[in-house]
Amino acid sequence: MALDNKKKKKNRKRKLKWIPFLLLAIIISYFYLGINHISRWMNFDDIRKSLNLFDYMLWFFLTFYISLTVHELGHFFAFVFQRIKLRALYITIFVFHKTLKGWRFAIKPKLIVLLGGLVVPDFGVVKSDDELLIIKNKFSKALIAAPIVTITLLVLIVLIFILSVIFIPNSGWMGIIFMLSLFALPINLIFIYSFTLSNPMFYGDFVAYKKMKTDSLFALAMIIQYSMFTLSDSEESSHYLWEKSRDILREKEISKSQFHTMILISYIDGIIRQGEQLDSTIDIKINRIPIRKYLNDDQGINLCYDIACYHYFNGNVERAYQLFNDIQKMISSKLDEKMVTYYKNKYKHIMHIEYQDQFLSNQENYYIGNHWIFDILINPYEMLEAYHEKLPFREYSSLVIYEEIIEPVEEEQKSDLE
C-alpha cells in the first residue's frame, strides 16, 4: 500500500508540472488574440493613446481590488449563508469589523503588507462534539467557496472576452473589455495558483480545505485560534476546547508543526492559568521535547518558556530554572532582540526569578508579534498584560549540611601549647 501511495504521489507531481506551462499557454494565446484584433476595434487606439503609466497602474489596482473583494466575499457569504457570525472582513487596508454596538469601518495603512484579504468568523460557544463537527464542516465549505468564486470569475472573464470577439469585434466595448481583462486574467490565475501553496506559516485555500477535512489537529487549532475573537466568551467553551486539545495530545506524538505547537501551548495554558488537571501521559511527552529545535522562532520560544512555567507550577522548580537557563544558552542570536528581551524578562517575573514590574509596566517593551494585524478586534497589550501575572510561589530550597572541619595541629604548635 505504501508503494502504491508513493506512485500515486509521483504521478500527481508529474501532472502538476504541466499546470504552469498550461497557464502560460493560455495567457500567451489570450494576449495574441487581443493584440491581433486591436486594429479592428473601433476607438481602441483613442483609448490606448489617452492612457499614461498612472492610468495603467490605476486599472491594475482597480482590477486587483475587484478580484480580491470578490474572493473574500466568497468566504464571507459562505459563512453568512451557513449562519456563522462574522467578526471582520479585511480587504488589504480596509477593515469592516463588528463590535458589541454593530459594524464599523476602519482604514489601517499598515495592513498593506498583507497584500490580501481575510475573513474572521465568530464561532461563539462550542461545548460538544456535535457542535465542533458542525463548525468544522461549515468552516470547510467557507474555505472552498472563495476559490470556486474566483475560478468562476476567471471563466466569466474569458467567456465575455471570447463572445465579444465573436459577436461585437468592431466596437468601443471591445477595447474596454480588453483593458479590463488585461489585468484580471493574470491576477486571478495567480490567485488560483496561490490556493495550492503552503508553508509552515501559510496555507492556501485548497490546502487548508483538505487539512480541515482530514487533519483533526489542524481543524482544532484553527477553531481555537479564531475563538479568541469571539464576542461571547464562555468558560464552558474554553474548558471543552482544552479537553479536545488534551485528547489529541494523548493520541498523537508531539511534533514541531505550527499547529501542534499551538495546541500544546493551549494545553499548558489551561493547566497553569485556568485550573485544568495535568495529564500524566502528556506530561511524559512534554518532558521528552527537545527544546533546541524550537528556539528559532517566536512561537517555539513561547512554548519553551511555557514548559518552564509548567514545571514551576507543578512544583519542579529546579527543572524549571534549569530549562530557563538552557533557553538563554541555546536561543538563536538571529532573532529579534526586542522579542528575546521581552520574553526573558517576562518569564523571569512570572517564575519569581527576578521581578520586572518596571519593565513590564511600559508597553513599549512588549513584543506583540503579528497580533497587530488584529488590534482592531482585540487589544494585544491588554491580552499580554493578563499573562504577566506571577505564578503561585513555589519554594525552592535544598538541604545544607555543615560539617566541622578540625585541622591537624603541627608539632611546634603542640609544644607551645604544652
The more confident residue out of 129 and 174 is: 129
Evaluate if residue 35 carries a pLDDT over 70: no
Residue 362 lies in a domain: yes
Cα–Cα distance, 383 to 371 (Å, whole number): 10
Quick check: is 298 in a domain?
no
- Residue 47 included in any domain: yes
- CB 342 within 8 Å of CB 331: no
pLDDT of residue 183: 83
Cβ partners under 8 Å of residue 53, min gap 6 = none
pLDDT of res. 235: 86
Which tens digit of pLDDT belongs to each residue from 133-155?
999 999 999 999 999 999 999 88
In the chain, % of residues over pLDDT 90? 50
Write down which residue in 158, 183, 201 finishes a domain.
Answer: 201
pLDDT score of 395: 85
DSSP for 4-64, please give it.
Answer: HHHHHHHHHHHHHHHHHHHHHHHHHHHHHHHHHHGGGSTTHHHHHHT--HHHHHHHHHHHH
Question: In the prediction, which pLDDT does 168 show?
Answer: 73
Flag the least confident range among 7-11, 22-26, 75-79, 355-359: 7-11
Q: What nine digits make up the cell of 15? A: 501532472
Residue 31: pLDDT over 60: no
Where b means 16+ CB within 10 Å and e means fewer, 385-399 reads eeebeebeeeeeeee
pLDDT at position 405 over 70? no
Whether 51 and 182 share a structural domain? yes
How is residue 70 written as a grid cell?
Answer: 470578490
pLDDT above 80 for 363:
yes
Q: Which helix (DSSP H) or strand (DSSP E) does residue 234 occupy?
A: none
pLDDT at 103: 93
Residue 241's pLDDT band (boundaries 50, 70, 90)?
A: very high
Does residue 301 lie within any of the structural domains? Answer: no
Using CA atoms, how far residue 46 sits from 43, 143, 175, 225, in Å, is 5, 43, 10, 53
Number of separate domains in the chain: 2
Supply the pLDDT for residue 184: 85
Question: Pick from 183, 201, 219: which residue ends a domain?
Answer: 201
17 pLDDT above the threshold of 70: no
Angle at 127 (CA atoms; ends 125, 131), nearest 5 degrees: 85
Statement: residue 52 has pLDDT above 90: no
DSSP string, 136-156: HHHHHHHHHHHHHHHHHHHHH
**95 found inside a domain:** no
Higher local confidence (pLDDT), 311 or 54: 311
Q: How confident is the model at residue 310 (pLDDT cuts 50, 70, 90)?
A: very high
Residue 114: its pLDDT value, please? 82
360: nearest Cα among 386, 391, 385: 385
Looking at residue 42, its pLDDT comes to 44
Q: What is the pLDDT of residue 172?
A: 62
Instruction: Evaluate if residue 13 carries a pLDDT over 90.
Output: no
DSSP, collapsed to helix, strand or coil, labels residue 127 as coil
Whether the per-residue pLDDT at 403 is higher than 70: the answer is no
Q: Is the residue at 65 inside a domain?
A: yes
The rounded distance, in Å, linking the Cα atoms of 80 and 85 is 7
Contact 376, 97 (CB under 8 A): yes
Average pLDDT over residues 73-85: 95
User: Is 309's pLDDT higher than 70?
Assistant: yes
**Full residue range of the structural domain in which residue 53 is found:** 22-87+121-201
Q: Which of 335, 279, 274 is nearest to 304 (CA)?
A: 335
Gap between the terminal Cα atoms of the chain: 95
What is the rounded average pLDDT of the residues 182-193? 87
Residue 112 counted as domain residue: no
- Residue with the bigger pLDDT between 267 and 113: it is 267
* Sequence-distant (≥ 6) Cβ neighbours of residue 339 within 8 angstroms: 298, 301, 367, 369
Instruction: Return the DSSP state at 343.
Output: H
Instruction: Tell me the pLDDT band of 265, cut-offs 50, 70 and 90.
Output: very high
Residue 4 lies in a domain: no
Q: How crowded is residue 234: how many other Cβ atoms within 10 Å of its Cβ?
A: 15
**Whether the predicted pLDDT of 115 surpasses 80:** yes
Mean pLDDT (the chain, rounded): 83
Q: How many CB atoms lie under 10 A from the CB of residue 354?
A: 10
Whole-model pTM: value is: 0.80
**Domain final position from 179, 201, 223:** 201
Q: Give the pLDDT confidence score for residue 30 in this predicted structure.
A: 53
Higher pLDDT: 203 or 7? It is 203
104 pLDDT higher than 80: yes
Q: Identify the pLDDT of residue 27.
A: 55
Q: Where are the alpha helices (DSSP H) in 298-363?
A: 298-313, 317-330, 337-350, 357-360
CB 383 within 8 A of CB 377: no
| pLDDT over threshold 70, residue 404 | no
